[in-house]
Structure 1
């Protein structure tokens, strides 16, 4: 592109921008919302499992532990 064509293109872009500002259609294309770093703070996250002392939960927990132990067992060596 020659210098003359580049200057012509630049003037066209300036005219388009002027028309947009006159008509009130200003859009911020490059505007980025700032990140809220406070939301990423580990102190504000949920912490741990809050279990009730319910008999069903205790049974589930015991059953899960038993299944894990059985999976770890080496059945072929016995």
Structure 2
């Protein structure tokens, strides 16, 4: 759902709630709480470089780099 669609949906819900409040229509379980659909937008969630790196991933990366360095060294010339 794009940002534009999310805002449009939020406005529709707000209008429906206003109409219900004006007409006095109430649900049997109470009033419906309006959701903030903008907060659920994927663009606003964590991701990419801001995500916390897992320790296992860091160890794997370090180990791979070490192996590459060891392969590049010339052991016979020493």
TM-score range, shorter chain: 0.3 to 0.5
| TM value normalised by structure 1 | 0.35
| TM value normalised by structure 2 | 0.35
Whose helix proportion is higher, 1 or 2? 2
Of structures 1 and 2, the one scoring higher in RCO (CA 8 A, sep 6+) is 2
Higher alpha-carbon Rg: 1
